[in-house]
């Protein structure tokens, strides 16, 4: 939280999603004090947070166990000194995305679909994010740039799906999202709109009547891909938000990232798949960590990954097992990781 902003108190809590976004924790010492964790924040941490500061909204913070520095939700978002280590093979742009941007704010990596960088901002900053160094400033879009991107999509008839990503597209106002979908609806070959978002889990209040109206009014077939790594991220409020999306028949998928000390345990991953399915969400992808600079401490050995996945396959029905994949820069699709003996 900026020092100029009031500290959140039990009696004075933000209510709307916009108020919650405005009052996110951004100072490590205030955040840890809220969590009742006595932990000296090292001065050197400023280097890790300079370009990618701490950012945590209250609803997510409320799901972190008080006093537990090893809480699996906390470890996803707490800046660590390890981020300053230079690890071999970890780079600013592990997926070579900077070369797949035919226009500012538009990524065209795979056949049939394009990804629009809808916004640079997220409600939460995940320390392992593969876009943590993405040059969002040079992809900030004016209306003119948006229009040029719509032209690109209009001219390529092989594209039938547009992915709204970012940042988190649900950080944008309903009016802005309505305008984008209105423009896409005018392009005949666009059939589907995919939304990649962490908002329904980190700020479930975002799933309000305005958003539901937008989603029910568009002619495009909407698919929402959530990002959730641990069952503790889903509480009753999140479950209610997801139920609102299920009620309007939006397919809900989830992608997770395998993260050391957070979900590198088959029991945790099984609980996540079960919890997601109970909330109407289909486990979709389990990603091997992208080797982004500053995230090496989340990485796992290949043998560990394969063993974990084997345990998932042996203990869950097939429809609850997400696809284990690795992204390889330049590959025409995500690459499945298969245990060698299968
Ligand atoms: S919400 Fe998604 S885009 Fe934003 S920091 Fe987390 S992983 Fe990255």
- Ligand 1 atom showing the smallest separation from residue 166 Cα: 3
CA of 341 to the centre of ligand 1 (A): 34
Same domain as 229, residue 150: yes
Identify whether residues 160 and 294 lie together within a single domain. Answer: yes
- pLDDT (0 to 100) of residue 3: 42
Q: Check residue 134 and give its pLDDT.
A: 77
At residue 229, the pLDDT reads 98
Question: Does 287 contact ligand 1 (Cβ within 6 A)?
Answer: no
Q: Which atom of ligand 1 is nearest to the CA of 165?
A: 3
By residue range, what is the domain housing residue 68?
Answer: 17-84
Span from the CA of 260 to the centroid of ligand 1 (angstroms) = 17
Torsions phi, psi for 105 (to 5 deg): 80, 10
11 within a domain of the structure (yes/no): no
Point out the domain boundary residue: 28, 57, 84. 84
CB of 55 shorter than 6 A to ligand 1: no
The CA-atom distances, in angstroms, between 228 and each of 175, 257, 265, 275 are 26, 8, 15, 11
Regarding the beta carbon of 122 and ligand 1, being less than 6 Å apart is answered: yes
Q: Are residues 332 and 242 in the same domain?
A: yes
Both 126 and 249 in one domain: the answer is: yes
Domain total of the chain: 2
Contact 152, 161 (CB under 8 A): no
String of DSSP letters for 288-319? PPP-BTT-GGG---HHHHHHHHHHHHHHS-GG
- Domain boundary pick from 57, 84, 111: 84
Q: Tell me: do 167 and 117 sit in the same domain.
A: yes
Of 55, 84, 113, which residue sits at a domain end?
84
For ligand 1, whether the C-beta of 227 sits within 6 Å is yes
Residues 201 and 203: their CA atoms lie apart, in Å, by 6
One digit per residue, pLDDT tens: the chain, 342 residues?
344 454 555 456 888 999 999 999 999 999 999 999 987 777 778 777 888 999 999 999 999 999 999 999 999 999 999 999 899 999 888 888 777 788 888 999 999 999 999 998 999 999 999 888 877 766 677 888 999 999 999 999 999 999 999 889 999 999 999 999 999 999 999 999 999 999 999 999 999 999 999 999 999 999 999 999 999 999 999 999 999 999 999 999 999 999 999 999 999 999 999 999 999 999 999 999 999 999 999 999 999 999 999 999 999 999 999 999 998 888 888 999 976 566
Q: 203 CB less than 6 Å from ligand 1?
A: no
Residues 168 and 46 in one domain: no
Q: Based on the domain organization, do 126 and 21 belong to the same domain?
A: no
Give the separation between CA 226 and CA 207, rounded to whole angstroms: 13
Q: Does residue 230 have its Cβ closer than 6 Å to ligand 1?
A: no
Q: Do 204 and 77 share a structural domain?
A: no
DSSP label at residue 9: B
Rounded to whole angstroms, the Cα distance separating 309 from 285 reads 12
Contact (Cβ atoms closer than 8 angstroms) between residue 298 and residue 78: no
Question: Do 77 and 103 fall within a single domain?
Answer: no
CATH number at residue 251: 3.20.20.70
Q: Does residue 162 sit within a domain?
A: yes
Q: Is residue 76 part of a domain?
A: yes
Q: Classify 79 as helix, strand or coil.
A: coil
pLDDT at residue 205, as a whole number: 98
Q: How far apart are CA 326 and CA 3, in angstroms?
A: 40
> Contact 99/141 with Cβ under 8 angstroms?
no
Which ligand 1 atom lies nearest to the CA of residue 125? 5
Domain check: are 187 and 295 in the same one? yes
Whether residue 58 sits in one domain with residue 148: no
Q: 193: closest CA among 213, 166, 214, 164? A: 164
Nearest CA to ligand 1 atom 3: 167
Please state the pTM of the whole predicted model. Answer: 0.93
* Domain identity same for 239 and 262: yes
Packing angle of the helix pair 266-278, 302-315 (nearest 10 deg): 50
Contacts of residue 78, Cβ cutoff 8 Å, sequence gap at least 6:
28, 31, 54, 127
Model pLDDT, residue 50: 84
CA of 124 to the centre of ligand 1 (A): 7
């Amino acid at each position: 939280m900026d020092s100029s902003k009031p500290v959140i108190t039990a009696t004075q809590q933000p209510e709307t999603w916009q108020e919650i976004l405005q009052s996110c924790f951004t100072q490590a010492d205030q955040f840890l004090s809220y969590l009742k964790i006595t932990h000296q924040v090292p001065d050197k941490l400023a280097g890790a947070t300079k370009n990618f500061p701490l950012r945590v909204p209250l609803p997510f913070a409320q799901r972190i166990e008080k006093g537990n520095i090893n809480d699996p939700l906390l470890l996803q978002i707490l800046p660590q000194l390890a981020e300053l280590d230079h690890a071999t093979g970890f780079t600013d742009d592990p997926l070579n995305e900077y070369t797949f941007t035919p226009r500012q704010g538009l990524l065209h990596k795979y056949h049939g679909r394009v990804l629009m960088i809808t916004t640079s901002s997220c409600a939460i900053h995940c320390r392992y994010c593969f876009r943590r160094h993405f040059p969002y400033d040079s992809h900030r879009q004016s209306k003119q740039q948006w229009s040029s991107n719509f032209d690109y999509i209009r001219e390529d008839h092989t594209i039938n799906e547009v992915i709204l990503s970012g940042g988190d597209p649900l950080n944008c106002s309903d009016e802005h999202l309505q305008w984008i979908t209105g423009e896409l609806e005018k392009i005949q070959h666009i059939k589907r709109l995919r939304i990649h978002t962490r908002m329904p889990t980190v700020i479930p209040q975002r799933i309000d009547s305005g958003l539901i109206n937008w989603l029910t009014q568009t002619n495009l077939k909407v698919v929402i891909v959530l990002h959730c790594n641990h069952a503790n991220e889903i509480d009753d409020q999140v479950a209610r938000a997801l139920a609102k999306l299920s009620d309007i028949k939006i397919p809900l998928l989830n992608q997770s990232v395998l993260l050391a000390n957070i979900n590198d345990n088959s029991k945790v991953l099984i609980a996540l798949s079960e919890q997601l399915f109970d909330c109407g969400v289909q486990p979709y992808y389990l990603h091997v960590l992208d080797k982004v600079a500053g995230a090496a401490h989340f990485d796992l050995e290949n043998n560990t990954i394969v063993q974990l996945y084997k345990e998932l396959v042996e203990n869950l029905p097939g429809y609850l097992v997400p696809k284990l994949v690795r992204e390889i820069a330049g590959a025409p699709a995500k690459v499945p990781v298969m245990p060698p003996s299968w």
